[in-house]
Structure 1
Amino acid sequence: MENKEWYFEYEIQKNRPGLLGDISSLLGMLSINIVAINGVDEGRRGLLLLANDSRNIERFESILSTMDTIKVIKLREPHVLDKLAVRHGRYIQRDADEKNTFRFVRDDLGILVDFMAELFKQEGHKLIGIRGMPRVGKTESIVASSVCANKRWLFVSSTLLKQTIRSQLIEDEYNNNNIFILDGIVSTRRANERHWQLVREIMRLNAVKIIEHPDIFVQNSEYKLEDFDYIIELRNTPYEEITYEVVNQNDQLQGSEFGSFDF
């Protein structure tokens, strides 16, 4: 049978020496391998497991139910967030009300890059928005994630090095394996109709599209926030407010921080 990954997370009820060793021994007896292990929250551990027979996982779960030293939190096929929690030792902060919104601070750039790279590796259409104030690291994180995912990135609109507003792609750029990057402010405030025709073409591609400043993008286009599969928020500090007051007050983006083309 083919090996299959599982994610096992437990909460320690009665901490005692040798507890992890007992669990490891049990897994060994059931021919279940430990791929990775880490603390993922206070009093919790997460393990990535590899088993070639799901019946052994069922036996493992049955035995765990008789143990009063731990409480099983999760035993399932691993989600992206599970793998990242084990890799980095903690879960990514997720909005309690908006389940598709994930929050990071600048000190978390390594986790953010890993998270986006995992999303970029998935096939098919995916629309991702990323919010954040100027110079917080949005574009750099997107590019780094594309490199980690071994994907080619294309700026459709951007201000990373110089202002970019594209109105056409060459033939080999229409590739579902590419990552298409748009700046919502540049596209909605500075682009012409030819650019928007290209944006609509790209939106129809079965590929990953990531849009900086998605709130400005939806304010000035036919697209809605509900169209986004993921919203990522990146702040300098946990309590920093992400605001577009300067942009809304000055449609020409002149004489302001946003007017410096460094978003």
Structure 2
Amino acid sequence: MEIEKQDWYLEYEIHKNRPGLLGDVASILGMLAINIVTINGVESLNGTINRRRGMLIQTDDAKKIELLGSILEKVDNITLRKLRQPTILDLLAVRHGRYIERDAEDKKTFRFVREEIGVLVDFMAEIFKREGNQLIGIRGMPRVGKTESTVAACVSANKRWTFISSTLLRQTVRNQLTVEEMNGNQHVYLIDGIVSTMRSTERHAMLMREILRMPYTKVIEHPDIFVRETEYEMSDFDYVIELRNHPDEEITYENVETGFSGFDIP
């Protein structure tokens, strides 16, 4: 019986980039029969190159990873930074060559600007591929690309998107779902936090509460308003995504008042 290979993430920092250094690292991996799946330079958070290399590697023996770590610790001119099973952020770092900006205090808040929508879609798709109960909030000003990014991520993750409420084309407020739509393993449920809490009927509110209790992936636009108008708290969210037109843009809800708003209406 063939043993299944596991992925690992290796990242090291180069102090003196001498000729053949990458070849030396690759040779060590080769001697240990560890496959290199992907390799890329990884930028620091402020966008400057800090001579880091990220690798997605693969092996069927975890003991080889321990040995690899011990050997790399002794290699001149590099410092081993990470050697672990890959997180979502590791996968995206080696894929796109940079790390996603993460809030220094709230580690589950991630920031993107509109020109990074490709990275955002990749990030959300990796989340959507995971099974189980996930609550994701996405905040941003009108027409910045929140819903479009979410739908694109569903396509990338091979999941179907189901609008519970939305303003993408016209105001959508669902009161019931089909039997097929209740098969949450194949679906990502999209909720507009303003529409569902401030412009909906009691039947819609009942459906929304049922969806939120289901152990599947839900995405809530405008999570701040959703939290303000419901019993939910920001701590209930597994991820909070911020999408801006530019890094200095302030996300505000000044036009949102209880019972009515023109926010996000074309």
- Normalization by structure 1: what TM-score? 0.95
Give distance in 2, aligned partners of 1:252 and 1:5: 49
1:132 aligns with 2:140: yes
Find the counterpart in structure 2 of residue 97 from structure 1: 105
Query: Which of residues 23, 26, 33 is equivalent to 1:24?
Result: 26
Find the counterpart in structure 2 of residue 13 from structure 1: 15
For the aligned residue pairs, the C-alpha RMSD in angstroms reads: 1.1
Name the SS for the 1:34 alignment partner: strand
2:165, 2:190 within 8 Å by CA — same for their partners in 1?
yes
Name the SS for the 1:45 alignment partner: strand
Deviation at 1:173, TM superposition (A): 1.2
1:246 aligns with 2:255: yes
Name the amino acid aligned to 1:52. Answer: D
Query: Which of residues 45, 59, 64 is equivalent to 1:51?
Result: 59
Name the amino acid aligned to 2:64. Answer: N
Find the counterpart in structure 1 of residue 154 from structure 2: 146
**Deviations for 1:70-114, whole angstroms, at most 9, x for unmatched residues?**
000000111111011000000111001000000000000000000
Name the amino acid aligned to 1:216. Answer: I
**Deviations for 1:43-71, whole angstroms, at most 9, x for unmatched residues?**
11100001122222222111111123100
% same residue: 62
Deviation at 1:167, TM superposition (A): 1.1
In the alignment of these two chains, the number of paired residues is: 257
Find the counterpart in structure 1 of residue 265 from structure 2: 261
**Deviations for 1:236-261, whole angstroms, at most 9, x for unmatched residues?**
0011000000113x7422xx5x2x62
Query: Which of residues 230, 238, 241 is equivalent to 1:229?
Result: 238
Name the amino acid aligned to 2:73. Answer: S
Long gaps (5+) in structure 2? 44-49
Name the SS for the 2:25 alignment partner: helix
What is the correspondence of 1:81-96 to structure 2 with a 5 Å cutoff? 81-96=89-104
Deviation at 1:26, TM superposition (A): 1.1
Deviation at 1:25, TM superposition (A): 1.0
1:214 aligns with 2:218: no
Find the counterpart in structure 1 of residue 47 from structure 2: none
1:201 aligns with 2:210: yes
Long gaps (5+) in structure 1? none
Give distance in 1, aligned partners of 2:78 and 2:208: 52
Give distance in 1, aligned partners of 2:189 and 2:238: 15
2:113, 2:245 within 8 Å by CA — same for their partners in 1?
yes
Give distance in 2, aligned partners of 1:229 and 1:213: 15
Name the amino acid aligned to 2:25. Answer: I
1:36 aligns with 2:38: yes
